[in-house]
Chains A and B, each alone.
Chain A
């Protein structure tokens, strides 16, 4: 399948995300003659262990995530980031997790927005929102390059595209920039050929970045 990079908006120190930034980013995509194709939505759920004795909480992963991706509507991804595990399963695994009553979903975040086609590239810009809330927590962007599925072979073309994109966006003097943090896929047992498991791992990485950003802001205040 075509590879993609998942990027997150890194606000400048002292600033936060707001919907004006989304509008500017969207206008920027449209100025590239991007063809609007419709909505997309991914969801990340944080799972928390249900523990009988709180003193032993350290024995269980605290960064256990479930991810639903629009590119694989019948699949679900479970990730334990610190242990570098990504599991691909059917959507029904969510029902199994519920029945086991060993982990419960604590909070869910939606990543949602519009999809655009720009020649061989597909762009998705999205807001990060807690479910049932309009409280903007972050901005993400997916850049997908349709002709290639090897991460390494596509690296140059992706970097070139990102240069052009960042240049165009910088003209708008926004208080931040999109950042690409490439996870070490090999640590998760993933190869160079792109799969949806790569996407899930990227979302988990973006999530960790968003949390770190929020924590940094809170620490400053």
Chain B
């Protein structure tokens, strides 16, 4: 299982977000460049239609592959009251021929994306990952070098944390409380519920940038 929230931010404020995250997490950012291939089962295959994501990490010298299955979101009155989405998620690392295997099994390419940005992995009540990335589409099949942004000037921010059915309430609380720190710059909500950019972003970003500058001068 995982807990997840998403939000968007204008590219011009990403640097301020990075400064804020750096201060909050106390770790260095990692560069992010992942090719995500979404496959769907062919029309005749499976008891139900299914979807699987193959994620290729292009930041490594030798690209590494992960198979990711995202299951249904937790439902019920309790799930609706919380501001974080809790869903099943299973991942498995795989060798580089994983796309060939899934094609052979009868899966078809649905769409592919290239995410470029950075990520922070840190411990704050729970293990949290924040990714900030521009989402790009490929004009030609698998042509990651010629990708163009899906939404120019806007980047996607995602906060995720692994959870289990035993501890998810604590993880949700940790994620929610972390998100409050980012509130001046962006609003985070369950995926699929877009809340747009926040009006205070420009002022908050300006303040963060000047604070950052001040620190540098005094050091």
Binding site for B on A (CB under 8 A): 49-53, 56, 59-61, 64, 76, 78, 80, 83, 85-93, 95-96, 99-103, 189, 197
Contact = CB atoms under 8 A, between A and B. Distances in A.
Contacts of A87: 94-95, 97-98, 101
Given A85-B100, A90-B94, A101-B50, 8 more contacts: A49-B105, A59-B44, A59-B106, A85-B101, A89-B93, A99-B50, A100-B50, A103-B105
Given A49-B45, A53-B44, A99 B69 contact: yes
A90 B93 contact: yes
B91 interface: yes
A55 B7 CA distance: 46
Contacts of B95: 86-89, 197
B45 A50 contact: yes
Contacts of B91: 90, 92
Nearest to A90: B92
A53 B104 CA distance: 18
B217 to A, nearest CB: 48
A101 B46 contact: yes
Question: What are the 8 tightest A-B residue pairs by CB atom distance, in nearest-first order?
Answer: A102-B46, A93-B92, A90-B92, A89-B94, A100-B50, A92-B92, A88-B95, A101-B47
Given A90-B93, A96-B69, A96-B90, A52 B105 contact: no
A64 B97 CA distance: 15
A161 B8 CA distance: 65
Nearest to A93: B92
Contacts of B88: 99
Contact of A60 (B71, B94, B101, B106): B106
A66 to B, nearest CB: 12
Contacts of A80: 101, 104-105
A197 B105 CA distance: 19
A78 B69 contact: no
Given A87-B94, A90-B92, A100-B41, A50 B104 contact: no
A96 B92 contact: yes
A68 to B, nearest CB: 13
Interface of B: 41-48, 50, 52, 67, 69, 71, 88, 90-95, 97-98, 100-101, 104-107
A71 to B, nearest CB: 16
A174 B195 CA distance: 76
20 contacts: A51-B44, A51-B45, A60-B45, A64-B105, A80-B101, A80-B104, A80-B105, A85-B101, A87-B98, A89-B95, A89-B98, A90-B92, A90-B94, A91-B92, A93-B92, A95-B92, A100-B41, A100-B69, A101-B47, A102-B45
B16 to A, nearest CB: 37
A50 B106 contact: no
Contacts of B42: 59
**Most chain B Cβ neighbours within 10 Å, of A52, A53, A197:** A52
Nearest to A57: B44
A189 B97 contact: yes
B32 to A, nearest CB: 21
Contacts of B44: 51-53, 56, 59
A95 B92 CA distance: 9
Nearest to B100: A85
B94 A100 contact: no
B63 to A, nearest CB: 15
